[in-house]
Amino acid sequence: MTTHDIQEDVRELTHWESHRFFGLVVCVIVIAIFLVSVALSLYQSSGAAQLDLSRPGYSDVRKEAAQGESTVSYPANGTLDERSLADFRKLYGDRMNRATATRSFDPAAMSDDSLQMYDKLDSAADPQAAATQ
């Protein structure tokens, strides 16, 4: 194959063939953007985002998240005698008390008074009272 032949081949290359590396890079980027979009939408819609304390704004409370809480379990097999019932009563009671001990999502925390949105001059000017009437 002479140099002339090679030059002829190069001339015959189509526009796409001469830019295929660039095309490949663009395709890879498009596919990556698509897959990241799918992943992010699943992250949002599945509720995983709400459990993710590594997001910005949650750094103060991250360390307070309970660690190693899920080790407790009750065997599904076995008899139902006094001892096994007492074991369950203890495990369940502990967990129930822990779950119900704190008053979570107290409405008072987000009231107009707590947020100090505006000064209440009198009850008639209170928009919340007006809305409920």
Partner 1 sequence: MMNKKLTSIVAAIAVVLSGPMVRAEDMASYSLTDAQISQVRTRCVEVQATLTRIRANDGLRRVNLGQQYETIATRLMAPMNSRVALNKFDGVELTKATVAFNAQLDVFRERYRLYEQDITHVIDMHCQDQPVSFYDAVLKARTERAAVRESVDQLNALLAEYNVRFEDLAKSALDKKGSEQ
Tell me if 1 contacts partner 1 by CB under 8 A.
Answer: no
Tell me if 43 contacts partner 1 by CB under 8 A.
Answer: no
Instruction: Mention every residue, 6+ apart, whose C-beta is less than 8 A from residue 55.
Output: 49
In the chain, the largest separation of any two C-alpha atoms, in whole Å, equals: 97
Tell me if 39 contacts partner 1 by CB under 8 A.
Answer: no
Nearer to partner 1, 7 or 59 (CB): 59
In the three-class reduction of DSSP (H, G, I as helix; E, B as strand; rest coil), residue 131 is classed as helix
CA distances from 88 to 70, 73, 85, 127 (A): 16, 9, 5, 50
Tell me if 5 contacts partner 1 by CB under 8 A.
Answer: no
Tell me if 60 contacts partner 1 by CB under 8 A.
Answer: yes
Amino acid of residue 118:
Y
Query: Residue numbers of the site for partner 1 (CB under 8 A)?
Result: 47, 49-51, 53, 57-58, 60-61, 64-66, 69-70, 72-82, 84-85, 88-89, 91-93, 95-96, 98-100, 102, 104-107, 109-111, 114-119, 121, 125, 127-128, 130-131
